[in-house]
Structure 1
Amino acid sequence: MNTETPQNMRRFLVLWAGQTISILGSGLTSFALGVWIYARTGAATPFALTVLFGTLPRILLAPIGGSLADRKNRKAIMLLADTANALVTLAAALVALSGKLAVWNIYLLAALGSVFAAFQEPAFGASVVMLVPKKDLGRASGLRNLSEALGSLVTPMLAALLYGLIGLGGVMLIDFITYFFALGTLLATRVPQPELTTPTGGSSRQQWLSDAVFGWRYLRQRPGLFGLLWYFALVNFLMNFAAVLTSPLVLSRNSTSALGAVQMASGAGMLLGSLLMSTWGGPKKQIYSTIGFIALGAVGLALIGVHSSAWVIGAGFFIILFAIPLSSGSTQVIFAAKVQPDVQGRVIAIRSMIAQSMMPIAFLLAGPLADNVFEPLMREGGALYNSWVAALIGNGAGRGMGLIFVLAGLILLIVTLFAWGNPHIRHVEEELPDAVADAPEPQPVPAD
């Protein structure tokens, strides 16, 4: 075991570079799969189900992943998870190249990727505090979001081009190759492991259950952190309820190229927000940007639904994806600073479970409600076709999904006001002491 205090970000940057290249490859596959699914179904429900299968296993397995991240070698866990993901991607590419790919295969691919993420994400997240000095936690959070931003910015147009040239199977093969960069940098980097300070007795099942209970109690005893998680559960529900409809919303009245442009606008917003977070590190009181930027994101969410133009939709996503890295980065800093290093895995697991607990409900509801309720309301003959709502946001194809975005944004603003009114959330940084020590200051070398 190693309890060393991190001195600089060098090792983190090496890991980050490899993960970023892998994320770019995964972004190519994600975009290509969206185009492939819509071309075959033309409905919103398959998109929602794909996201559901890509999320639910990660939520359910989070306690096991968090327990292993604290009790076992975090580097080994990341290596195994990344390797398994690469092999599944290769298998899916071969099926796609054979011409036998079916929609249910995509659901299976998403589910398996979610299983591996349940182990990889807690291990990587818990390792950050061991790799990065406390003063640079905000920068590290910004860089992690920057990886996603680069994926959103670079991959859409490239994926659209590659999809036309080499098809879905070829795109997946490129994704498979990018995994070797993540694996190579991970093999080349030493990841310190903190000393475990909690009991380890009992069977594996008893261990996972006791660790899950430990993580729950740890957060429950800290009302500010606990309240933040339930706030983010609602944020994730509202954001994902609408966002899962992005591709069908855009494609209902625009071209595939327009979808790529919208995703690039999203990536540009996330890139700018991530760059700002990685250089700035957030305000002295991180809770200000945690709550404030979610409010800004809510405005962007509502904007997406007011018009079918790809320009307006892109502007809304730019605002949302600019705000999210700043809010989530500040949240990560709060949790990294307030939670002891040796329990980070278990706390991250319960944190993920709570924050994402309502997302599967959003995925299950979004597609059917869009296809069977909101879209019929806004089409010719629907109850809202000639209403004041239609005068504001338009009617016809895609406008029912637009109404979902507007309502989600308005409700999110209200939820955010209630969160800010909670004194435990608002004063979380004053109520809880820091659990991570500052790196020691370098000592001057005495002159001869």
Structure 2
Amino acid sequence: MSPLRARPFRWYFLSRSVNLAGNAMSPVALAFAVLAVDDGTASLGLVLAAYTIPLVVFLLLGGVLADRWGRQRVVQASNLLAGLVRAALAVLVLSGHAELWSLITLAAINGVVVAPGIPAMNGLVPQLVPRTQLQEANALLSLTRAALMVIGPGVAAAFVVGVGAGWALLIDAVTWLLAAALLLPVSLPATGTNGTSMVDELQEGWRYFRATTWLWLVVGACGLLNALAEGGLTSLGPVRAAATSIGVHGWGLAMSAQALGALVATLALMRWRLERPLVSALLGVALFGLPMITLGVWPSTVPLVVSGLVSGVGVQIFSLGWHLAIQEHVPDHMLSRAYSYDQLGSMATVPIGQLAMGPLAGALGIAHVLTAAGVVYVGIALLTLTAGPVRELGRQAPAPASSSAA
């Protein structure tokens, strides 16, 4: 709990917690809001791709803005605008005026305004706590995320069945606005060099990214993994659930089980030091292929909940290992730009998966597509571990304090 002693981190932690409370409900609410408008196999993928494509396009701009103008300012602006867009989405759904084209349009606008905040948010943590407390700080954030995700999908499913998806979407919108307000007490300096142009800073970030082998290897692998997961589990998963005995409640339970697995992993990681962060990360993320395989070969609630629980453990190990690797090994002035290239590479292929999986499922069968996606997902994660720079990356010891600093 030591990172919470720092006042700026406490405000950041509270802001993130409020935001995550809404985000825990939104995936289930959005999925079934879209399916209520158009239940085709490609409809949800179209909405998700409309969000992801502009998100990818504007990520690099967000990394530069965060390093130049101050990360907390960029996060605040992004949260405020995202809250307003999501409120408009909720009003459309609640009023019964939502159509597929309007959902796609608002999803695209949402992607534009959220994009700058992602690299800025990820780069904030090393400015708020000492380097020696990075694992604890990331574990605290993950603990909150996992705890809320245990409750959120089930609550969202209850809202969908009881009063409709719009109310869950409205709560999500309010949390984005409140998260922006809670960052007001946090004031941090910009870390970039204002004397150079934004193009120069983008090029500097690209040179660093290209020269750091472990960074681009894992990011490239994650680009393929995310395309499979978003196109398979996120886009086809609710469709498969709605068409089988799993249903809305079963899907919500599986998402909550995934979060419970993340919660269990986080509690363990608060005491277990990751000596080889990328080895742990990739072994963990390989488990995320299991729910897709389960949906393909055994579409029933209990097996899906169990595979969700196991995948949640794995994803949490990946998240902590990956953030530790970046935050400890990337220079602070380059951090948001490194995260922006990370997000760009990881998400650039996601729209392909989101747009392709629906037609593939229509042509080959949704069960076959989900099974194949899960098997390939596991294979890519394990194959990446064969690269030496990935396998050998360890923890970086903190620099000794000077006598004056002490």
TM-score normalised by the chain length of structure 1: 0.82
Partner of 1:322: 313
**SS of the residue 2:115 aligns to:** helix
Does the CA-based 8 Å contact 2:94-2:166 persist in structure 1?
yes
Which shifted more, 242-251 or 12-21? 12-21
The structure-2 alpha-carbon separation of the partners of 1:7 and 1:363, relative to structure 1 and needing over 3 Å to count, comes to closer
1:45 Cα shift?
A: 0.7
Assess, with a 3 A threshold, how the Cα gap between structure 1 residues 66 and 165 changes in structure 2: closer, same or farther: same
Q: 1:129 to 1:317 in 2, by over 3 A?
A: same
Query: Which of 62, 66, 86 is matched with 1:89 structurally?
Result: 86
Distance 1:124 1:439, change over 3 A: farther
1:112 to 109, 113, 119: 109
Q: Deviations over 1:108-151 (max 9, x none)?
A: 22222221221111111111111122222223333333344234
Measured after TM superposition, the shift of residue 300 of structure 1 is: 5.0
**Cα shift at 1:164:** 4.3
- Tell me if 1:366 matches 2:362: no
Q: One-letter code of the match for 1:422?
A: A
Distance 1:122 1:28 in 2: 23
287, 290, 301: which one pairs with 2:281?
290
Shift of 1:441: 10
Equivalence for 1:122: 119
CA distances 1:60-96 after superposition (whole Å, capped 9, x unpaired): 1111100101111222211111111121122223333
Amino acid in structure 1 at the alignment position of 2:261: G
Answer yes or no: is the 8 Å Cα contact 1:153–1:266 preserved in 2. yes
Alignment partner, residue 180 of structure 2: 183
* 3-state SS in 2 of match to 1:421: coil
How does 1:252-401 map onto structure 2 within 5 Å? Answer: 252-254=243-245, 255-277=247-269, 279-280=270-271, 282-371=273-362, 373-375=363-365, 401=366
| Amino acid paired to 2:91 | L
After superposition, what is the alpha-carbon deviation per residue over 1:191-211, rounded to whole angstroms, capped at 9, x for unaligned?
A: x32543x46334xxxx2x333
Counterpart residue type for residue 127 of structure 1: L
Mapped to 1, the partners of 2:392 and 2:379 lie a distance apart of 20
2:100 matches 1:99: no
Given that residues 293 and 324 in structure 1 are in contact (C-alpha distance below 8 angstroms), is that contact kept between their aligned partners in structure 2? yes
The question of whether the paired residues in 2 share the 8 Å contact of 1:82 and 1:183 is answered with yes
User: Is contact 1:8–1:131 with CA below 8 Å preserved after alignment?
Assistant: no
CA distance in 1, matches of 2:290, 2:172: 34
- Alignment match of 2:394 (pick from 419, 423, 429): 429
| 4+ long deviations beyond 6 Å | 438-444
Give the Å deviation of 1:274.
3.1
Give the alignment partner of residue 157 of structure 2, picking from 135, 160, 166: 160
| 1:337 CA displacement | 0.7
Residue 254 of structure 2 contacts residue 304 of structure 2 at CA under 8 Å; is this kept in 1? yes
Q: 1:405 aligns with which of 370, 375, 378?
A: 370
Alpha carbons 1:224, 1:427 under 8 Å: kept: no
1:418 maps to what in 2? 383
How far apart in 2 are the matches of 1:250 and 1:439? Answer: 55
Give 2:169's aligned residue.
172
Three-state SS of the structure 2 residue aligned to 1:280 is coil
5+ unaligned residues in a row in structure 2: which ranges? none
Alignment of structure 1 residues 24-173 onto 2, 5 Å = 24-173=21-170
TM-superposed CA distance for 1:350, in Å, is: 0.9
**Other-structure match for 2:207:** 217
2:116 alignment partner, SS class: helix
**Displacement, 1:16?**
2.0
Task: Give the Cα separation in 1 of the matches to 2:405 and 2:60.
Answer: 42
Distance 1:410 1:442 in 2: 55
> Equivalents in 2 of 1:298, 1:92: separation in Å?
31
CA distance in 2, matches of 1:439, 1:105: 55
RMSD after superposition? 2.7
Corresponding residue SS for 1:429: coil
> Which structure 1 segments of 5+ residues have no match?
1-5, 376-400
Computing the radius of gyration from Cα coordinates, the structure with the larger value is: 1
Q: For 2:179 and 2:94, locate their aligned partners in 1 and report how far apart those are by CA, in whole Å.
A: 25
Structure 1 position 349, deviation (Å): 0.8
- Kindly provide the amino acid, as one letter, of the partner of residue 157 in structure 1: G
AA partner of residue 193 (structure 1): P
Instruction: Answer yes or no: is the 8 Å Cα contact 1:269–1:318 preserved in 2.
Output: yes
1:200 corresponding residue in structure 2 = 195
Q: Which letter does structure 1 place at the counterpart of 2:248?
A: T
**Inter-CA distance 101–303: structure 2 relative to 1 (3 Å threshold):** closer
Deviation at 1:186? 0.6
2:360 and 2:369 in contact (8 A); partners too: no
Say how many residue pairs are matched: 402
Query: Are 2:257 and 2:309, in contact at CA under 8 Å, matched by a contact in 1?
Result: yes
Instruction: Give 1:290's aligned amino acid.
Output: A
